[in-house]
Structure 1
């Protein structure tokens, strides 16, 4: 789609606009076609009235007047809450199930050197990896195991090598098969050696610094 402005925001993709409104990408694409055909104006295109609750909902001393509020409280998307709400109105689920927390964790998409991805699928496609692989990287990033550049690494083999606990490296005639062996040789913790090893693999640290003994 062509870039379009609404309320001081610029939207460059269906997904970005859909997330802003709280509808599906397909739903926004249908609206956009009507907008281009002159059937919808800009306010129609970005109308979010379908996602306002017809009645206030109270849950555990909290008051919710929109799907977006309730969805944010639960930790799900507005679209997901809308599906639940329809079931709730038909008495298919209870109030507790309407506000049930998801078993999965939603990880926000970080910006990468100024590049913004609107979805995990878009980022995975850009990197040429599966969405499942990208999700695993994202989870490890938020767990503190990966850096931002690790998430967007273009070479999966190098990334695996960087974070592998095994290695085969020779220094001063001694071959170390694992990081643990190197740690014992140097008398430092594995986390300390791992930090050095990552820098060594990225070319930031020479091998002499990798095997530098701590001064006591």
Structure 2
């Protein structure tokens, strides 16, 4: 893919992701389906967002792919592991993102209360971050009112994964459910995120808002 904005071709992205896999940050299996899956996050939006944060960016999926798919968006790739964020910084340099993409090493619970990040993003993405309640609570603080949390869903349907009452506690609601053909759920933030969320580090997992 030759990007008109001057970003790297897909071959370079694949080289970066091969390195990620060699380091143990991505699982086995062909890269092309994983890249295509990452692009699926972009298909949930009718237009390019002005900003997004990738929650638990890990080995670079979907964050690196979305930074290419959304070349005008300001992005933050967030992960709590130093080795992964060092890799992501090098990957962003290799892909030519410049200062448009920032990599931050921090726990989501802490970062979600940082004034520099709280309520700043149109979109938050999450791929294999954690259980639904943990993902929603850790992601909501980054969203501005009207923003969307987009989560990759497992193959099997479970109508209880995103209960209205639990989401409502966070100010979220399902805007677009996952379907058999489109395994992403989009959760919209109805107003500013409640100030009490996210709770301190570890609490969302130990005492989830729903099971």
State the TM-score, normalizing by the size of structure 1: 0.24
- Please say which structure displays the higher CA radius of gyration: 1
Q: Which has the higher strand share?
A: 2
TM-score, length of structure 2 as denominator length: 0.24
More helix by share: 1
